[in-house]
Amino acid sequence: MDALNLDNPELFINRELSLLEFNRRVIAQALDETTPLLERLKFLCISSTNLDEFFEIRVAGIKQQVKYGSGQKGPDNLSPAEVMEQISQIAHELVEEQYRILNETITPELAKEKIRVLRRASWRPSVSRWVKRYFNNNVLPVLSPIGLDPAHPFPRVLNKNLYFIVSLDGKDAFGRESDLAIVQAPRSLPRVVKVPEEHTAGKNDFILLSSIIHAHVSDLFPGMKATGCYQFKVTRDSDLFVDNEEVEDLLRALEGELPSRRFSDAVRLEVADNCPDELSTFLLRKFNLNEFDLYQVNGPVNLSRLMAIVDLASRPDLVYPGFTSDIPPRVLKSSNIFDSLKNGDILFHHPFQSFAPIVDFVRQAAHDPNVLSIKQTLYRTGIDSAIVESLKDAARIGKEVTVVIELRARFDEEANIEMATELQEAGAQVVYGIVGYKTHCKMCMVVRREGRGLRRYVHLGTGNYHSRTVRMYTDYGLLTCDKEFGLDVSKLFLQLTGLGRAGKLRKLLQSPFTLFKRLLELIEIEAVNAKKGKDARIILKMNALVDPDMIKALYQASQAGVKIDLIIRGMCCLRPGIKGVSENIHVRSIVGRFLEHTRVFYFYHGGEELIYCSSADWMPRNMHVRVETAFPIEEKRPRDLIYTLGLQNYLSDNTKAWIMNSDGMYKLAKPTGTKQRSAQDTALSHFCDN
């Protein structure tokens, strides 16, 4: 390998294959005996959901490239066809591993805890009678089986919905031979059904909807006999396309595109592994797929739906123990959040610290008579958002409320369209960001009359204003009334709404303008210092490292002698530990109870020690085609907290950390002569046990 040529394809890992390796690490959590059993089931379900999205977006895009003969290669020099071949091989391995773990490990261990998913062969007579009643009363009335013939063509199959292909014997009501039918499982019915205790031997016995339909599928075809019934599920291309040159109203354009997601091109077919080859081939032909797109599974094709068992089982001893998020003392001392901020910035490390003060920040602003305006970006908020309700209240009261909503937050488009409509009806000004540039930055600004002037209060974050994910994702948020922060955020909002130039920002870095350039400069400064024999250090924590220019800059810094630690949760296209190139770079991934979502950039900077938190990962899209921010942490106490608990703490994790080798593979870190240390548990103890 030519170590001096930093464009050498061998120095780059394919991003899609790296993402699959992340999912392998998620699947591995289902085998971790130190994790509560129902949480292990949850990890297995999450891995299934991850694969669904991977096929819907990433595989769909690559298939389009292959279809149209694109030979464009990435930094790794793999063509779309070559990537697709490797994806198929690895994804099949992962799916096989998912079901092996489910059948050989999770299901038997759940049974030991008297949590059972009852197979049809094990139903006792009382259960069978109850299932028949349930089928007749709850399932049969909403089923619409489609017998296939020239008048009943193959139906349009919804994305990721559960279906059955049924082979039949006998004549239909009109005396004709019928041999095949399609049955759609109703989306309105639960996929996991708890059996009443009086009909079974346990308190936590469950039956899958697929088993209920399978047991009584012949009832759907009177006079005929179902000779076979096999589950299948189709995953479709779910990326929405909007022509930036032609669209006049982004909201209306997206509304028009959303229905197509359910019936777009198929990219994967999952079938029960007992489905005969001729029926699998028949389905592949109907969906224009080939044999490499077929996934035969030994269990429910909608594996992620088993997540319902976690809640239905009501076994708190088999899930992570609850915790009460910490609230910073300065917030507790004052009922007025604005008074609290006059004594300095307040940093929040979620979920270890509560998100409630951020919600209260917006709520107080909405009802404070001295507040004149509220401006906020929203990317994902979830349903029944308290923040959105406060924004609506503020608008109804007569305050100036401006909301920048990114409608194209993938899989949240429909919810965001509804939210935009509600805010507009309440009197808020709503804009949809910049066409061609996703607005991904997380910021809120409150303008308040104080004395003879106005003061700006600002929240900046690394994660979304989402009440549910904030309990599951690690993120940083900063509340401040610093004048320069306020001026910068004010300029950004004027840019997002008025489309004028933001001008020079005092503290914030912004993509697609200054963030990329400044980060490269900071890396170069470390390299220059290292060459001079000075201390040089970089620590980066993010979800993904993909951008080839950033990777080459890190390689050059490593060659100069800079010590570099990377904490990358998901995709990492950099290869560490290559002699002469990256031997000074170490990469680790933390997979644990919480989804690691913080983005933190640390540069030793000649002893000045710069720390930025950001909404941006180091991917080309974040640097060049999104509106992102990175904000400095300047006050000593929050800086020290991020460095110790947010960075060093994660670098010392030896139980949930996966260490990356130069071949792109990961190995789980193991304690060697030291006590076990989990970064997330340490943070929980620090904030929540005080």
Per-residue burial over 510-542, b if 16 or more Cβ lie within 10 Å, else e, is bbbebbbeebeebbebbbebbeeeeebbbbbbb
> Residue 595 and residue 272: Cα distance in Å, rounded?
31
Give the torsion sign (CA, 181, 187, 189, 192). positive
- Give the burial string for 293-315 (b: 16+ CB within 10 Å, else e): bbbbbebbbbbbbbbbbbeebeb
Q: How far is CA 143 from CA 167, 183, 217, 227, in A?
A: 17, 7, 10, 19
Paired tokens of 674:
């030291």
3-state secondary structure of 335: coil
Measured in residues, the chain has a length of: 690
Quick one: how far is CA 337 from the chain centroid?
Answer: 31
CA distance 276 to 280: 6
Q: How far apart are CA 623 and CA 513, in angstroms?
A: 8
Distance, in Å, from the CA atom of 218 to the CA atom of 214, rounded to the nearest integer, reads: 8
Backbone angles phi, psi at 421, to 5 degrees: -65, -45
The catalytic site residues sit at: 440
Angle between helices 37-53 and 15-28 (to 10 degrees): 160
Q: What is the DSSP letter of 643?
A: I
Quick one: pLDDT at residue 620?
A: 96
Tokens of 574: 């950099």
| Angle in degrees, 0-180, between the axes of helices 386-397 and 413-426, rounded to the nearest 10 | 20
* Distances, alpha carbon 308 to alpha carbons 159, 197, 199, 314, 478, in Å: 20, 18, 21, 11, 35
User: Of 496, 484, 513, 533, which is closest to residue 624 (Cα–Cα)?
Assistant: 513
Query: Comparing C-alpha atoms, which of 408, 435, 434, 430 is closest to residue 420?
Result: 430
Residues of the chain with pLDDT under 50: 1-3, 241-248, 253-256, 261
The model carries a pTM of: 0.93
Q: Cα angle at 645 between 642 and 646, to 5 degrees?
A: 55
Token look-up 């100036």 returns 400
- What proportion of the chain, given as a percentage, has pLDDT over 70? 93
> Which of 682, 609, 685 has the alpha carbon at shortest distance from 643?
609
Q: What pLDDT shows up at residue 247?
A: 42
d(CA 431, CA 445): 16
Quick check: 445 and 456 in contact, CB under 8 A? Answer: yes
Q: What one-letter code names the amino acid at 255?
A: E
Helix 37-53 to helix 80-101 angle, to the nearest 10 degrees? 160
Report pLDDT for 687. 93
Q: If you compute the radius of gyration of the chain from its CA atoms, what whole number of angstroms results?
A: 27
Helix (H) or strand (E) holding 532: none
Cα–Cα distance for residue pair 384/550, rounded to 1 Å: 39
Using CA atoms, how far residue 559 sits from 135, 527, 584, in Å, is 67, 8, 8
- Residue 260 has a pLDDT of 52
State the Cα–Cα distance between residues 549 and 618, nearest whole angstrom. 10
DSSP 3-state assignment of 337?
Answer: helix
Domains of the chain from N-terminus onward: 35-44+107-316 (3.30.1840.10), 329-507 (3.30.870.10), 511-688 (3.30.870.10)
**End-to-end CA gap in the chain:** 53
**How remote is the C-alpha of 227 from its chain's centroid?**
41
Residue 254, pLDDT score? 46
**Confidence at residue 141, expressed as pLDDT on a 0 to 100 scale:** 94
* Residue 371 CB contacts under 8 Å (≥ 6 apart), including other chains: 365, 394, 399, 446, 447, 448, 449
